[in-house]
């Protein structure tokens, strides 16, 4: 296994000093070391992977230095446009190193949303004409591969990818973990929300621990899961899925439960939601200031004014709760408001170590959800 410090030090020795990307569970130990040992203007946690590629391109244009872009392989979808229409040799021909976490590697057990992406990761790179190597977990070979990556990127004036298998990096425990002063945990907020709804609201929840916690709260309460569409993968698109449901079910209250990382990833979606959602669209953003599901790397969630953004694009009602008392104070007004509304709930990071995963597959969840809607919509006609 590779020590994050050794890899980081070698990269610096080779002149790779600028890092940008979106955190990934496979790369979390390396990302944690970079975050703790790099100046803030030399390590940018981007909104999404395409954003990261563009930032890297700009850095190269101004400095002539090779940047490193880190991402999960699921993020290749976000990155394809700038990789093809910006960095490609037939356009601006911009060199960079891509460090890609390989979720869903063929033959390795993983969650359903990663299986196909894992299978096509190398094929995608080949289609994009991006040369790549699978990073070794042996330090001398890994150093040789990184040197090759830099030489090839410079020689070809093009991106070069290093694919990282699960377990390649040793565990790194940050010395200065950033937390928050907020008292509420996400699971406590979710339990309050679910316990204070009526009987027929539709829930659409973001990927990661949020959906897993909702599932377990339903289990604990001995409630069915049919009203909940638990999004896996497709990070950043939860609110758009919820909007589509809202437009189809004009008389049904749709509650989107999102996270700060997901909200930031495709923030432009909120403008479309504000313009087109019906009055029974309720948007909840649980903000813990981190990409917790993939290593708790920080987001800018606490640095931006989410309510200000919502107001600017046309949301009619906005609320912020920073503790349980405020959640109890504002929730009734939020959920019963006569127009689309947004509620930001600020929480601290952290989840139970024994947090499980849904027993049903995504397809089973979809079928259960669609059957529930068809049945109840007929009853309401």
For residue 284, the surrounding DSSP H or E stretch is strand 281-287
Residues 207 and 269 in one domain: yes
Is residue 173 domain-resident? Answer: no
Segments of the chain scoring below 70 in pLDDT: 176-179, 378-381
Residues 104 and 251 in one domain: no
Handedness of CA 111, 167, 22, 346 (dihedral sign): positive
Is residue 177 domain-resident? Answer: no
Q: What is the pLDDT of residues 122-174, one digit of tens each?
A: 999 999 999 999 999 999 999 999 999 999 999 999 999 999 999 999 999 88
Q: What is the pLDDT of residues 216-258, one digit of tens each?
A: 999 999 999 999 999 998 999 999 999 999 999 988 999 999 9
Is residue 180 domain-resident? Answer: no
Helices (H), 196-323: 209-220, 238-248, 260-265, 269-276, 306-313
Residues 92 and 130 in one domain: yes
Residues 140 and 213 in one domain: no
Burial classification of residue 175, based on how many CB atoms lie within 10 Å of its CB (0-12 exposed, 13-18 middle, 19 or more buried)? exposed
Q: What local confidence, expressed as pLDDT, does residue 112 receive?
A: 83
The answer to whether 215 and 187 have CB atoms below 8 angstroms apart is no
For residue 43, the surrounding DSSP H or E stretch is strand 43-45
Is residue 152 domain-resident? Answer: yes
User: How far apart are the C-alpha atoms of 198 and 227, rounded to whole Å?
Assistant: 12
User: Across 331-379, where does the E strand assignment appear?
Assistant: 341-346
User: How far apart are the C-alpha atoms of 364 and 28, rounded to whole Å?
Assistant: 31
Residues 151 and 13 in one domain: yes
Residues 363 and 216 in one domain: yes
User: How far apart are the C-alpha atoms of 104 and 110, rounded to whole Å?
Assistant: 5
The reply to whether the predicted model has a pTM over 0.85 is yes
The answer to whether 33 and 70 have CB atoms below 8 angstroms apart is no
Is residue 64 domain-resident? Answer: yes
Cα separations in angstroms, 116 against 168, 198, 210, 231: 21, 38, 23, 16
Give me the residue label for tokens 């063929």.
106
Residues 345 and 210 in one domain: yes
Residues 25 and 108 in one domain: yes
Q: What local confidence, expressed as pLDDT, does residue 297 receive?
A: 85
Burial 275-307 (b: 16+ CB within 10 A, else e): eebbebbbbbbbbbbbbbbbbbbbbebbeeebb
- How many domains does the structure of the chain reveal? 2
Residues 23 and 84 in one domain: yes
The answer to whether 216 and 242 have CB atoms below 8 angstroms apart is no
The CATH number given to whatever domain includes residue 142 is: 3.40.50.970
Residues 196 and 339 in one domain: yes
The residue segments making up the domain with residue 240 are: 186-380
Q: What local confidence, expressed as pLDDT, does residue 366 receive?
A: 96
Is residue 285 domain-resident? Answer: yes
Residues 118 and 253 in one domain: no
Q: What local confidence, expressed as pLDDT, does residue 353 receive?
A: 85
Residues 337 and 226 in one domain: yes
- Distant-in-sequence, close-in-space partners of 140: CB < 8 Å, separation ≥ 6: none
Is residue 174 domain-resident? Answer: no
Is residue 42 domain-resident? Answer: yes
């Amino acid at each position: 296994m590779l020590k994050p410090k050794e890899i980081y030090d070698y990269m610096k020795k080779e002149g790779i000093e600028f890092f940008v990307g979106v955190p990934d569970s496979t790369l979390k130990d390396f990302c944690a070391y970079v975050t703790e040992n790099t100046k803030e203007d030399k390590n940018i946690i981007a909104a999404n992977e395409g954003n990261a590629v563009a930032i890297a391109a700009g850095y190269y244009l101004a400095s002539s230095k090779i940047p490193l872009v880190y991402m999960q392989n699921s993020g290749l979808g976000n990155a394809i446009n700038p990789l093809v229409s910006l960095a490609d040799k037939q356009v601006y021909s911009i060199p960079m190193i891509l460090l890609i976490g390989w979720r869903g590697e063929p033959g390795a057990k993983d969650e359903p949303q990663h299986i196909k992406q894992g299978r096509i990761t190398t094929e995608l790179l080949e289609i994009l004409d991006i040369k790549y190597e699978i990073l070794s977990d042996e330090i001398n070979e890994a150093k040789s591969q990184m040197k090759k990556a830099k030489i090839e990127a410079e020689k070809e004036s093009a991106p070069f990818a290093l694919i990282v298998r699960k377990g390649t990096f040793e565990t790194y425990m940050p010395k200065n973990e950033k937390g928050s002063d907020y008292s509420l945990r996400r699971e406590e907020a979710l339990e309050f929300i679910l316990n204070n709804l009526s009987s027929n609201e539709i829930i659409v929840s973001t990927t990661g621990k949020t959906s897993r916690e909702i599932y377990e709260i339903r289990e604990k309460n001995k409630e069915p899961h049919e009203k909940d569409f638990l999004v896996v993968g497709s990070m950043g698109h939860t609110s758009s899925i919820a909007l589509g449901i809202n437009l189809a079910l004009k008389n049904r209250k749709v509650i989107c439960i999102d996270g700060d990382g997901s909200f930031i990833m495709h923030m432009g979606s909120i403008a479309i939601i504000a313009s087109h959602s019906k009055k029974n669209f309720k948007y909840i953003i649980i903000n813990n200031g981190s990409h917790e599901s993939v290593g708790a790397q920080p987001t800018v969630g606490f640095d931006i004014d989410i309510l200000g953004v919502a107001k600017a694009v046309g949301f009619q009602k906005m609320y912020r709760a920073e503790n349980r008392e405020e959640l109890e104070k504002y929730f009734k007004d939020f959920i019963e408001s006569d127009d689309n509304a947004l509620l930001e709930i600020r929480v601290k990071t952290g989840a139970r170590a024994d947090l499980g995963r849904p027993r049903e597959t995504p397809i089973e969840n979809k079928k259960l959800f669609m059957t529930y809607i068809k049945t109840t919509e007929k009853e309401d006609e």
